[in-house]
A and B are shown apart, each in its own frame.
Chain A
Amino acid sequence: MGMHAARWLVVAFAIASASCIDPVRSDAVDALGPEAPGVGTGPTHRPNQPCLTCHGGNGPGSPDFAVGGTVNAVRGSVIPEARVTVLLTDANGSTKTKTSNEAGNFYVETREWSPVYPIRVAILSGNASQEMKTLIGGTGSCASCHYGADNAPDHMPPVFLRSQ
């Protein structure tokens, strides 16, 4: 009898846990759409999408990221720029350096860096460089603020290495 009750308790707990999914976050994940044709999950997938929507903890992506984004070649374009050095500095002066891959993507896993916000960021490749003039206040996904068309009043274009 005791074992029977324990089983029901486990089942009830599992159902209760499943019902605690954040619907807002779930909708945000759904809004990202399917993978691009021919591109599987991995370091090169979903460039210019907000990485931490899925990799921000509690899945569905793995591993968890502290920061992630995509570097593009020119302002207003979504042509990836590989081998760009991304230098991140947190509020305590702790730094992390990453290099963009062939999709322009870069990411820092939470197990390797736990930054204290705000973060400053600079990117450089050869003679070209950009330094973000403002601070990153608390969101690790570059694409949360860097997306869409240029000249919008409430967001910046995708991250770019060269202005033109």
Chain B
Amino acid sequence: MKTRAVMMGRIRRCAAALVLGAALFGLASSSVSSTAGCSSPDTSARVDPIGPDRAQFDVVAPMLVRRCGSIDCHGSPYRNMRMFGYGGTRLRDPSTATSTPETPPRSTPTEIEATYQAVIGLEPEVMRDVVKAGGAGPERLTLVRKGRNDEDHKGQQRIKHGDDADRCLLTWLASSVDVAACNAAGCVDGGVVEGLGCSE
């Protein structure tokens, strides 16, 4: 009887050791796999912010600054997608004596370049995909959705589906900008002052 009891005790201890071993093995395995899953991101990875044609942006910028770039909106230096130009925050330019929201009366090349970088850098990977697709699926861009107020936008609707501003933006994304639409939407009147005499 005593021998049998000793044997049963050994069997129980052995079984317990097996269960413990299996549990430890499982824990170790999951630890290894989770460590692999949490590996650091590739620090060399880059998204090239390929934007639509830079030269064509010269006619798009006044429209964006006019519609979106007032000092209390994207013309503020404290907003994302900062825009610079007439009516908004100005960038000091060596060619101008003073820079105020109303002078000089046109956006400078420096300001247009800064606005371009802000626009294409907002969602560089999406912008790249839209440009590569020839402008197809522009609504993938937050810029388009918020401008149209299709996505909640503090500045409400600044671009209506199919209006001049919409055509200007979408044709630029497709790299064949509609200059007339941009000029109408940007209120570029005779190249004198952006916004003067514009009813929009």
- A interface residues, Cβ below 8 angstroms from B: 91, 116-118, 133-139, 144-145, 150-156
Contacts and interface: CB of A to CB of B under 8 A. Distances in A.
A133 B197 CA distance: 8
| Overall SS of chain B's interface | loop
Interface stretch (B30-38, B67-75, B139-147): B67-75
B29 interface: no
Contact of A118 (B70, B90, B98, B193): B70
B99 interface: yes
A117 B67 CA distance: 11
B12 interface: no
A153 B91 CA distance: 7
A156 B154 contact: no
B101 interface: yes
B56 to A, nearest CB: 24
Given A116-B156, A118-B158, A137 B98 contact: no
Contact of B70 (A91, A137, A151): A137
Interface residues of B, number: 31
B100 A144 contact: no
Contacts of A156: 71, 100-102
B155 A153 contact: no
Interface of B: 66-68, 70-77, 86-92, 98-102, 154-158, 193, 195-196
Given A154-B77, A156-B71, 8 more contacts: A134-B66, A137-B68, A138-B155, A139-B73, A144-B72, A150-B100, A153-B90, A155-B101
Contact of A154 (B71, B98, B156, B193): B71
B86 A153 contact: no
A88 to B, nearest CB: 15
Instruction: Give the interface centre of B70, B88, B156 by most chain A CB atoms within 10 Å.
Output: B70
Given A134-B70, A134-B195, A137-B70, A153 B100 contact: yes
Contacts of A151: 98, 100
B70 A136 contact: yes
Contacts of A150: 100
Given A138-B73, A138-B155, A152-B100, A133 B195 contact: yes
A144 B154 CA distance: 16
A136 B156 CA distance: 12
Nearest to A116: B156
A153 B86 CA distance: 10
Contacts of B155: 117-118, 137-138
A136 B101 CA distance: 13
Contacts of A145: 70-72, 101
Given A117-B155, A136-B72, A154 B90 contact: yes
